[in-house]
Amino acid sequence: MSELFKTQEITYNKGEAIKVYEDKDIASAYVAQRIARIIKEKQNKGDRAIIGLATGSTPKGVYKELIRLHKDEGLSFKNVTTFNLDEYYPILPIDDQSYVSFMKSNLFNHIDIDPKHVHIPDGTLSLEGIQAYCDLYEKKIVDFGGLDLQLLGIGRTGHIGFNEPGAILESRTRLVTLNDITREDAKDDFGGKDKVPTQAITMGVQTITQAKEVILMALSQRKAEIIKKALEGEISADIPATFLQRLSHVEYILDNEAASLLSRTE
């Protein structure tokens, strides 16, 4: 890792897995380099890199840097298979608010990934077909040998993916009801809260935590309160992100604002 990344990080709570950056772009570049390293290591072995991806404003900087690495430094995504965390339900993939549209505009349209290796939950399914689809989504991840890395953001409810308060550790990919706060936060994207879907398809907490590596990012003041609860609070289904505390293979990438309420220890 370059000196640039080292000099910009602060360690909290004597935990090497919590890194705090002054600059959002440097934090995003660090995560992009982590993903690129896995891709290159797999390429050298002739293997596929299985990467779990997230949506929302937080990972946009990561995707921007991955695009730069592809265009300027020749990073290829031909050996990459992706699985996205979630998708609104119901929603059409061509809708501007769909996560299919988000991923295409922010990453996939700008790199050399094969579309057949991209997996995003289907927001057009019939209710009757959702459970079988979710079971198949899980099976595909297992058949690929599991996720090499899962990238996460965090919602103000403490959700990871769309695992809202009440989600249990053993949960798998499924249809869920969105929390009112989550829908409130999405209202600008949809042109009003009443237009935000009330449900979504999401990977489960267990699906996420079984990834070989997990990176959770939070890059704004509005995430400070939930980051404190997620990292320093008791492990509880009331805040699903607290389940990550059980993991030895999780890394939290924060900016100063998101980390502002954490207890610092020398």
Active site residues: 164
- Return the H-helix or E-strand segment holding 214: strand 214-218
> Residue 7, by phi and psi: left (phi above 0), alpha (psi -120 to 50) or beta?
alpha
Residues with Cβ within 8 Å of 101's Cβ and at least 6 positions away in sequence, in order, are 93, 94, 95
Decide if 9 contacts 20 (C-beta within 8 A). Answer: yes
DSSP string, 80-147: EEEEESEEEES--TTSTTSHHHHHHHHTGGGS---GGGEE---TT--GGGHHHHHHHHHHHHHHTTS-
State the residue for tokens 């897995």.
17
Helix (H, G, I), strand (E, B) or coil at 231: helix
Take residue 138 and report the two structure tokens written for it. 């899980």
Rounded distance between C-alpha atoms, residue 163 and residue 159, angstroms:
5
Question: Hey, what are 159's tokens?
Answer: 């959700």
Residues 6+ apart with CB under 8 A from 107: 53, 63, 66, 67
Sheet strands side by side (includes 49-53): 9-11, 18-21, 250-255, 214-218, 149-152, 49-53, 80-84, 118-119
Residue with tokens 């695992």: 163
